[in-house]
């Protein structure tokens, strides 16, 4: 398991720049928002938490189709499937690798981008906390979407259509926690709901992803 | 008595539904025409809402069927995943566009009703929002069916998507409650509640609901038959090519 994780991390960092791409995308989304809604800092401060959440979510989505596609193309996915490791473990490791290489950098860079969007000082901790708790769910759900569409030639667009509705609960609670924090309200409740969703998806969704992957490898 | 699983035989299914379909269609038409005519022309205007209240005869049955269609797809998917009856998978596939259409009807009539009553076509109300999300789930489900070429793979994948999607649709339903307060009224048709719609509106509404249910069943039967026949035709064509 550890070998697989290290291999996936190496591939993500070294091969083809998938690593920085998500971050760059996140940055560009955040830079484009003021052009679209205007430079008034009061308005930006109000929408900052939501924009950062949407940006992080889209950046996660963008990198999902690389999750299984490369292994599928060169056949290493078949090798992994015949390995003694259960499919559920493989899927979980893939999700973990995706989270470490894509989502965690987003969480780290989010406070920096929040400065650009004039996020109120009270909002930084809630933003980071909610992203930290919420992004694992995004990775795990995304793994399910990637496993569904792995065999398709142009699965990327279809995967967005499948994955985005599944992101709704996570986004609602995550963005709500960040928004409440930015407005100086108590943000414990949505944060707890968010943590619940994350724990639930981590516990259950790998089984669905593994089942889907087995069907696709048949 | 024959078990319900005997209808998993496509031949038996087609034979039975062929006999049932005309009856179902006539009943659906009768209930719909009866309910709508009764509702539109022979019930009084509401004292607050005027004649706009009559859109209820389309709005409520469509909304009910939009949810029940998804439930039916869920049951059919579970049956397919556990017992591998092809008719079940095809029925789930056949129900999806019908359910999606019901969702659109519910959303559209809701907008037309909401404009004079709430002064807005659309509001990010929990009920409205969760219906929109349900519609997105239908779209994703249908897109996945049409994207995969191999029939059994497609049936498996969409089946699992339906299971996972149901959980997330339910989660979203309660998450949006948390996120925004509602404009839409609560349930007004429950069997166990004191406060229901008045009887004058209730009976034609029941007839309309029955009409929508029958219409849904008839459409799903018809579409499942079509799917079965299309698949049989593909099999025959493949056999022809093999023999050449």
The predicted model gives B173-192 an average pLDDT of 69
Mean pLDDT (whole number) for B146-175: 89
Q: Higher model confidence: residue A152 or residue B208? A: B208
Give the angle subtended at the CA of B54 by the CAs of B50 and B58, to the nearest 5°.
155
Residues of A in contact with B162 (CB under 8 A): none
Extents of the domains making up chain A: 2-217
Q: What is the pLDDT of residue B9?
A: 85
The answer to whether A173 contacts B178, with C-beta atoms less than 8 Å apart, is yes
Q: Which residues of B touch A218 (CB under 8 A)?
A: 153
Residue A56's nearest CA partner among A25, A98, A96, A16 is A25
Distances (CA, A) of A177 to A59, A64, A201, B41, B181: 20, 25, 19, 50, 17
Rounded-to-integer distance, Cα A137 and Cα A199, Å: 8
How far is Cα A33 from Cα A31, in angstroms, rounded to an integer?
Answer: 6
The DSSP-derived string for B85-127 is -HHHHHHHHHHHHHHHHHHHHHHHHHHHHHHHHHS-S----HH
More confident residue, A183 or B194: A183
pLDDT digits (tens, 9 = 90+) for A4-61: 778 777 777 766 556 678 888 899 999 999 899 888 888 888 888 999 999 999 998 8
- Closest by Cα among A48, A30, A18, A26 to A119: A48
Q: Are A49 and A187 in contact (CB under 8 A)?
A: no
Average pLDDT over residues A114-118: 88
Q: Please check whether residue B224 is in contact with residue B90, taking contact to mean a CB–CB distance below 8 angstroms.
A: yes
Whole-number pLDDT of residue B192: 54
pLDDT at A16 (0 to 100): 58
Q: Which residue has the tokens 């996945």?
A: B144
- Region of poorest pLDDT, from A137-151, A158-172, B106-120, B217-231: B106-120
Tens digits of residue pLDDT in B207-231: 999 999 999 999 999 999 999 999 9
The closest alpha carbon to B85, from B191, B202, B4, belongs to: B4
- Indicate the helix (H) or strand (E) that contains B229: helix B199-243
Please say whether the beta carbons of A165 and B136 come within 8 A.
yes
pLDDT of residue A121: 85
Which residue from A42, A182, A174 is spatially nearest to A123, judged by alpha carbons?
Answer: A182
Task: For an interface test with B, give the residue of A143, A168, A197 to mutate (most B CBs within 10 A).
Answer: A168
Report the mean per-residue pLDDT for chain A: 88
The CA distances from residue A93 to A99, A135, A136, A213, B106, in Å, are: 10, 15, 12, 14, 42
Per-domain residue ranges for chain B? Answer: 50-182+215-243
Mean pLDDT of chain B: 86
User: Does residue B194 have a pLDDT over 80?
Assistant: no
**Residue B244 pLDDT level (bands cut at 50, 70, 90):** confident
Q: Cβ separation of A190 and B165 shorter than 8 Å?
A: no
Query: Token digits for A129?
Result: 């906390």
pLDDT in tens, B141-159: 999 998 888 888 899 999 9
The Cα–Cα gap between A123 and A167 comes to 22
Q: What is the ipTM metric for this complex?
A: 0.86
* Cα–Cα distance measured from residue B191 to residue B178, given in angstroms and rounded to the nearest whole number: 26
Token pair listed for A162? 């499948």
What does the pLDDT look like over A72-99, one tens digit per residue?
888 888 888 888 888 899 899 889 988 9
Q: What percent of chain A has pLDDT over 90?
A: 39
Contact (CB<8Å) B168/A173: no
| Nearest beta carbon to residue A165 from set B133, B156, B176 | B133
**Which one of A158, A168, A208 has the shortest CB-CB distance to B164?**
A208
Residue A177: pLDDT above 60?
A: yes
Residue at token pair 């659906």:
B28
Q: What percent of chain B has pLDDT over 90?
A: 46
Q: What angle do CA A179, A185, A187 make, to 5 degrees?
A: 65
What whole-number distance in Å separates Cα of residue A107 and Cα of residue A134? 10
Q: With a cut of 90, say whether residue B129 has pLDDT above it.
A: no
């Amino acid at each position: 398991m550890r070998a697989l994780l290290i291999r996936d991390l190496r591939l993500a960092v070294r091969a083809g720049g998938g690593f920085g791409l998500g971050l760059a995308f996140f940055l560009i989304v955040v830079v484009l928002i003021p052009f679209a809604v205007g430079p008034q800092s009061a308005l930006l401060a109000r929408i900052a938490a939501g924009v950062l959440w949407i940006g992080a979510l889209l950046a996660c989505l963008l990198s999902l189709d690389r999750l299984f596609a490369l292994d599928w193309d060169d056949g290493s996915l078949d090798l992994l499937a015949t390995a003694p490791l259960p499919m559920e473990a493989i899927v979980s490791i893939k999700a973990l690798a995706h989270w470490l290489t894509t989502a965690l950098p987003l969480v780290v860079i989010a406070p920096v981008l929040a400065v650009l969007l004039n996020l109120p000082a009270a909002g930084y901790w809630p933003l980071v906390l909610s992203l930290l708790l919420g992004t694992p769910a995004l990775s795990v759900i995304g793994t399910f979407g990637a496993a569904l569409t792995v065999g398709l030639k142009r699965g990327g667009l279809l995967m967005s259509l499948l994955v985005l509705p599944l992101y709704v609960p996570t986004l609602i609670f995550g963005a709500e926690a960040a928004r409440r924090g930015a407005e100086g309200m108590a943000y414990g409740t949505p944060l707890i709901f968010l943590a619940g969703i994350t724990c639930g998806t981590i516990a259950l969704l790998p089984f669905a992803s593994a089942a889907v992957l087995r069907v696709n490898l048949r | 008595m024959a078990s319900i699983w005997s209808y998993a035989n496509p031949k038996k299914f087609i034979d039975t539904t062929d006999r049932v379909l005309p009856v179902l269609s006539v009943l659906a038409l009768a209930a719909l025409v009866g309910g709508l005519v009764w509702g539109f022309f022979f019930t009084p205007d509401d004292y607050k809402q005027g004649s706009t209240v009559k859109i209820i005869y389309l709005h409520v049955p469509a909304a009910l069927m939009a949810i029940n269609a998804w439930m039916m797809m869920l049951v059919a998917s579970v049956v397919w995943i556990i017992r591998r009856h092809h008719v079940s998978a095809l029925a789930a596939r056949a129900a999806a566009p019908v359910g999606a259409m019901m969702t659109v009807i519910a959303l559209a009539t809701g907008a037309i009703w909401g404009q004079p009553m709430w002064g807005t076509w659309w509001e990010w109300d929990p009920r409205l929002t969760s219906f929109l999300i349900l519609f997105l789930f239908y779209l994703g489900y249908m897109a996945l069916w049409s994207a995969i070429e191999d029939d059994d793979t497609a049936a498996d994948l969409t089946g699992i998507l339906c299971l996972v999607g149901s959980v997330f649709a339910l989660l979203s339903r309660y998450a949006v409650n948390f996120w925004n307060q509602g404009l839409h009224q609560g349930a007004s048709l429950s069997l166990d509640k004191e406060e229901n719609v008045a009887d004058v509106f209730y009976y034609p509404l029941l007839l309309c609901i029955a009409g929508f249910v029958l219409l849904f069943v008839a459409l799903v039967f018809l579409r499942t038959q079509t799917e079965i026949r299309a698949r049989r035709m593909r099999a025959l064509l493949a056999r022809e090519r093999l023999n050449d």
